[in-house]
Amino acid sequence: MEQQRDESQLPDSRGFFGPYGGQFVPETLMPALQELETTYNEAQADTSFQQELEMLLRTYVGRPTPITYAKRLSDALGGAQIYLKREDLAHSGAHKINNALGQALLARRMGKQRLIAETGAGQHGVATATAAALLGLQAVIYMGTVDMARQKPNVFRMQLLGAEVRPVESGSRTLKDAINEAIRDWVTNVRTSYYLLGSALGPHPYPRMVRNLQSVIGREAREQMLAADGPGRWPDTIIACVGGGSNSIGIFYPFLDTSSQMIGVEAGGLGIAGGQHAARFADPKQGRPGVLHGTYSYLLQDEDGQIALTHSISAGLDYASIGPEHAYLRDQGRVTYTYATDDAALDAFLQLSELEGIIPALESAHAVAEAIRLAPTMSPEQIILINLSGRGDKDLDSVMQALRQREEEKHESS
């Protein structure tokens, strides 16, 4: 449901968050976007739709996901107390199911039997395939071949769930290119297919819809932090990783009316100076506003305005743009954005696994890395809440490869 605060008035009627957002799409898609917005508004006001969604989130997804106190990690860092919002425990292994299930119900309401989706790390693809199987819909998932190679378990999971996974060989063969192909499919089959966009980006009304569907994370966290088995107050700082921005806006949005500091962590890759990263806000040379995939937001681009290549150890964070609401919240100074490098994320992945018995997704490990950096500078009375957006089973091959490379580099230098 919409949050009742000033920010709930955004986006405006044209889909803008301040200067960001909008609908920059071919004319052939405008009727589909108008139909989607009308259907979504009707569903928001339909008690039976909301009840079905809430029932499925409870009985199928396993919500509410718990808050876990990371005592050993907190003790090791010697500063703030760290809590984890456990989206890794949601059915299918990540927060992506919250949005996929809600949009799949909208597709069914619109009479669409075919879902189109894109995926990078594979979790949105798995979530879409899961929702399609549950509701008896067809699913076609576009995925770059680079991501398919490093996320083989998720490719197989999508296929097991009955989805067709279409490899994308164009461009960098990652998430950006998968979105390109998904949009081409949608343009061709707009009357019969529903585009189930996975993050808080794209043309209006997608950023608003995805934000609202993912806000279940923050709404639960507000209650859980105040509950008897929680710390008894809201966090001083909330940290989440930011690719397109769905898990982060999902936890940030319900806390915008509180005093909690919020930090979004982008993918720093191999470092900002070398340009091999996906930190849209941190790179003054390449990061500036532009249009990509139907929305106006911050975007990594070269001097000629061409989309820059990105890099991250995490397949889910190496996207060249960021959701328009994040750009707006950064301009407003309400959310601070930073980055974690591949090495920092890998170290955080290992530390959380060893100290807490929780193996995080590499995406989530970027948020953990920022908490590891920040916590020692805070007092033991302060609280950090990390949105642990997914579990790390899918990333074990990538982590093993990165650790082997570390050992080889260490051996060569000794």
- Residues with a catalytic annotation lie at 96, 118, 389
Instruction: List, as one string, the DSSP characters of 249-305.
Output: HHHHGGGTTSS-EEEEEEEEET-TTTT-SB-TTT-TTTEEEEEETTEEEEEEB-TTS
- 402: three-class secondary structure by DSSP: helix
Would you say 122 and 394 are in contact if contact means Cβ atoms under 8 Å apart?
Answer: yes
For residue 330, the surrounding DSSP H or E stretch is: helix 324-332
Q: How many CB atoms are located within 10 Å of the residue 144 CB?
A: 29
Query: Do β-strands 261-269 and 336-341 pair in parallel, antiparallel, or remain unpaired?
Result: parallel
Give CA–CA dist 306/21, Å, rounded.
19
Q: Which residue has the tokens 């948020």?
A: 367
- Rounded CA separation 47/60 (Å): 19
CA dist 359 and 349 (Å) reads 7
Continuous segment of H or E residues that includes residue 246? helix 246-252
Compute the distance between CA of residue 348 and CA of residue 250 in angstroms, rounded to an integer.
22
Buried b / exposed e across 256-269, counting CB within 10 Å, b at 16+? Answer: beeebbbbbbbbbb
User: What angle (nearest 5°) sits at the alpha carbon of residue 186, between those of residues 180 and 187?
Assistant: 90
